[in-house]
Amino acid sequence: MYKAQGIGLAANQVDLPLQFFIVNTAGKPGEGEELVFINPVLSKSKGSEEAEEGCLSIPGLYGKVIRPKQISLTAYDLHGREVSATLDGLIARVIQHEFDHLQGVLFIDRMSEAARVKAAVTLEEFEIDFNSHRQAGQIPSDEEIAQRLMQLEQTYA
């Protein structure tokens, strides 16, 4: 996360089929606070605001996303204690972004149609690069990924 200058990372982004993510809005080790949210639940969203987002899963792509301005979060921390908070600002946006990952949603799925059209060239380049790496054997096939996921789910069941 830090190496890629990220401020949040969901478990499934690093091949873990678990419901948790980590956030540090400072984006640097030793600065800010590393917060871990296990089995998060979001509720009571209020308002809306638009801001630019990027994602470690699609490096180099940024776009405007409208999200609720305020959310309530319930989760567990690393010590098994329940955490409940009403949040707004950057921390609320990052938590919503990472929560979306756990639901299989990327920020591009939340962009307006106009923003997606604007991002189309970058997404096409990303897809070409991905397919090139896959053909070179550097990225496993969908079947291999599905098999790996089943193995991980059995391990963590």
Q: Catalytic residues, which ones?
A: 98
**Residue 71: how many CA atoms within 13 Å on its side-chain side?**
21
For residue 40, give both structure tokens.
């998060």
The span from the first CA to the last CA of the chain, in angstroms, equals: 26
What distance in Å separates the CA atoms of residue 24 and residue 152, rounded to the nearest whole number?
26
User: 20 pairs with which residues across the strands?
Assistant: 38
Tracing tokens 């401020």 back to the chain, one arrives at 7
Q: How many CB atoms lie within 10 A of CB 5?
A: 11
Structure tokens at 146: 């599905």
The closest of 21, 14, 24, 26 to 36, measured between CA atoms, is: 21
